[in-house]
Structure formats: C-alpha cells, structure tokens
Amino acid sequence: MRQIIDGDGALVDDRYKDQLTPELVVEMYKKMVFARLFDRKCVNLQRQGRIGTYVPFEGQEASQVGSALAMREDDWMFPTYRDHGATLTFGHSLKNILMYWNGRYEGAVPPEGKRIFPPAVPIASQLLHATGAAWAEKKKGTDRIAIVYFGDGATSEGDFHEGLNFASVFQIPVIFFNQNNGYAISVPTTRQMHSRTIAQKAVAYDMEGIRVDGNDVCAVYFAVKEAAEKARRGEGPTLIEAVTWRYGAHTTSDDPSKYRDQSENELRRKTADPVGRMEKFLKRYGYWDEHLKAYETEATAEIETAVKAMESEPAADISHLFDYVFAASPWPIEDQKADYHRLKGGVR
C-alpha cells in the first residue's frame, strides 16, 4: 500500500519530496479542514431539522481532497452521495451543495463550466456514466479525463464490472477511485468479497490497480496525478483503492454501533486521522504558522454565510417530485400530483 506521510507526519517516501511545495501542502491541509467543518455543520443541520437526511464523510477527507486536487479544472467528476468534500475541492458551489441536502434540485447544478455530475444515489451506476463521458472526450480528441468515486459496496454491483471491462476494452481515459472504508452500510468487506484487496480486481481487466493509504492526502494526490497523466497519454484506465475509515454513520438515519466497534474511532483519530496527520507534517517540516492556526475561524464563517444563503431561498416546491420523473408525465404520476394538491388545499 502506497504511503508518503505516515501517521506521525513523517515523510517516508523521498521520491516526492521536491514536489511537496509549501503552497501544495498548505492547500491540502486547508481543504481538508474546510471539508471536515462543512461535514460537521451538515450533521448538525440535519439534527436540527434544517436539512434532510445527510451522508457524512468525516475521516475520508484525505481521499476526497487529494484526488480532487490532482485533477485538471476542465476534467469530469462523478461523485457518489458522500463525495461533497471532493466536489467542494473541485470547485462546486458551497451554497448549491447545501441546497441539494435541503431538497432543492438546484443543488445538483454545478457552477458554469464545471463538469460535475449530480451525486449518484444508485450504487455503482455512475461508473458507467463516467466511462461514457471519458469515451466521448476520447472520440472528440481532447485530453480531458474523468474520475468516478464509489465505495467498497459498489464493487459487488454489475455496473462496477461492466464499467471496468468497457473502459479496458476501449482504453478509455477514466480513473476508478474506490474509497474502501471497510463497510458497505452494515456489511464488512469480508462478507461481500473473498479478494484480499479491491485494487487486485483490476487484474481481470488488464488495467493498473493501485492501493494507497487513503488517510495520506499526499499518497492519494500523487497516485491520482500519475493515473491522470497516464490517461491523458492514451494509456487507458486505472483502478485506485484508497484504504480509509469513516468515523460516523453511513447516513444520519443509521446507527453504526449496531454493527461496528465504535471504540476503534478514537484509536484511529490518534494514529491515522487525515487532518491530524497533515497538521503533524506541517509542524514537523516548518510549514505551520499562525494563519493556519486561525483558519478554522475563517472557514467556519464562510460555511455559515453559505448556510444563511441556502436558508434564505424559498422552500422546495414539492411538485418537483412529480415533474421530473419522466419527460412526459404519465397518468399515475399526474394522479399522485393532483392528490397532493387536493390534500394540501392547492398550496404549491
């Protein structure tokens, strides 16, 4: 498993020493801190009834931030419902991400010029979408590529195998980025596959498979960067397995204590936490300063501003539940919509 910075913040792979510029490592740290604060705020908003069910990712910041920073601004990104740390890093609107969790369809719309698909809730379907988009770029003769995110549970879906097989056959410039946090909701990895790793599944499709420490933002960054450069050269897809750990629940409607020993969280926070690891690295090598110490205050203020902007918007129109199911709405949907308006007294 590739690692560049260990749990104590020490550089253990000198090959990348010269590329770890002060600007890059500071940006990595700040992006991870911002993502963590955003995630915690969203959990609180859900508990207060201010947004709907939320999908937390605390503990996976290095995987999401490192991978997104390695991509080019005009590339494609295909996230799951858990990858808002990646989409934030890639340039998505903070307000729009909040609106998504508040039931607004506008939340699925990225900023102008950003190729970010809406979060995929069906498991593994986005692998096919990413493969198709990257294939289209190849046919157009561009050097844009796609990265697609998925959890360990997605590797049990047919779409996973179909996406990898198609990408391999046509040598499509796509990066399959797996975040293996050990559980697909309540099912541990050992109960859904006998393979020792997810990365080794690449062998079946004759593509490169890479396993990285998903809590090491630098290891993730360079693995994705190298895979992206390879894809741009026309050398095909890559499967990357980032081994990480999510501290919280699968969603805010889940209770992880029913299936997982929660005492492991505190141990991992001390030995493998991605944000803490990067802070140790910055202090060890002289990159830490007072601005970084005060950055949480700055980031919190930005997040609070976005929350206020989200909550100042009109409430979501329930009619959208009916209007955007089919291109031409069939009679059962229209009947349901009419029933809704009748029960609500015609209030939209």
Helices 158-169 and 125-140, axial angle in degrees (round to 10): 20
Mean pLDDT by 10 residues, the chain (348 residues): 96 94 97 98 97 95 98 98 97 96 90 95 96 98 98 96 98 98 90 94 98 98 98 98 95 90 87 95 94 94 98 86 87 91 70
Residue bearing tokens 């391999």: 168
CB 106 within 8 A of CB 99: yes
Q: Are residues 96 and 238 in the same domain?
A: yes
Amino acid at 60: Q
Same domain, 70 and 181: yes
Query: What are the backbone dihedrals phi and psi of residue 122, each rounded to the nearest 5 degrees, phi first?
Result: -60, 135
Query: Under a CB-based contact definition with an 8 Å cutoff, are residues 216 and 248 in contact?
Result: no
* Residues 184 and 247 occupy one common structural domain: yes
Residue 35 contacts residue 89 (beta carbons within 8 Å):
yes
How do beta strands 183-184 and 146-151 pair? unpaired
Q: What is the DSSP string of 298-340?
A: HHHHHHHHHHHHHHTSPPP-TTHHHHTS-SS--HHHHHHHHHH
Examine the domain organization and report whether 210 and 330 are in the same domain: no
Angle between helices 61-69 and 22-47 (to 10 degrees): 130
* Same domain membership, residue 45 and residue 71: yes
Catalytic residue check, 259: yes
Query: Is residue 140, in this structure, part of any structural domain at all?
Result: yes
Q: How far apart are alpha carbons 83 and 88 in whole angstroms?
A: 9
For the record, the structure tokens of 146 come out as: 């796609």
pLDDT value for 342: 86
**Placement of tokens 């060890």 in the chain:** 284
In a domain, 7, yes or no: no
Q: From CA 348, how far away is CA 341, in angstroms rounded?
A: 7
- Residue 130 within any structural domain of the chain: yes
Tell me: do 261 and 276 sit in the same domain: yes
Q: Are residues 205 and 216 in the same domain?
A: yes
pLDDT in tens, 153-210: 999 999 999 999 999 999 999 999 999 999 988 899 999 899 999 999 999 999 999 9
Overall number of domains in the chain: 2
Contact 138, 172 (CB under 8 A): yes
Q: What is the pLDDT of residue 286?
A: 94
Taking the C-alpha atoms of residue 296 and residue 272, their distance in angstroms, rounded to an integer, is 21
**57 with 97: CB under 8 angstroms?**
no
Is residue 258 within 8 Å of residue 215, measured between CB atoms?
no
Q: Are residues 242 and 93 in the same domain?
A: yes
Q: And the tokens for 13?
A: 């792979």
Contact between 139 and 226 under an 8 Å Cβ cutoff? The reply is no
At position 33, the amino acid (one-letter code) is: V
Cβ(245)–Cβ(273) below 8 Å: no
Residues 109 and 151 in one domain: yes
Helix (H) or strand (E) holding 208: strand 208-213
The answer on 271 and 158 residing in a single domain is yes
Contacts of 226 (CB under 8 A, 6+ apart): none
**Annotated catalytic residue: which of 246, 247, 277, 287?**
246
Q: What is the pLDDT of residue 346?
A: 53
| Same domain as 276, residue 208 | yes
Look up residue 202 and give its DSSP letter.
G
Per annotation, catalytic residue among 36, 84, 92, 250: 250
* The pLDDT of residue 348: 47
Instruction: Return d(Cα 123, Cα 154) in angstroms, integer.
Output: 6
Q: What is the pLDDT of residue 82?
A: 96
* Residue 45 lies inside a defined structural domain of this protein: yes
Range of the domain at 332: 317-348
- Residue 210 included in any domain: yes
Whether residue 222 lies inside any domain: the answer is yes
The catalytic residue among 233, 259, 291, 324 is 259
Give the CATH number for residue 52.
Answer: 3.40.50.970
- Residue 344 confidence (pLDDT): 77
Residues 210 and 333 in one domain: no
Nearest in space to 272 (alpha carbons), one of 65, 60, 86: 60
Residue 2 lies in a domain: no
Q: What are phi and psi of 106, to 5 degrees?
A: -60, -20
Residue 274 lies in a domain: yes
What does the pLDDT read at residue 40? 98
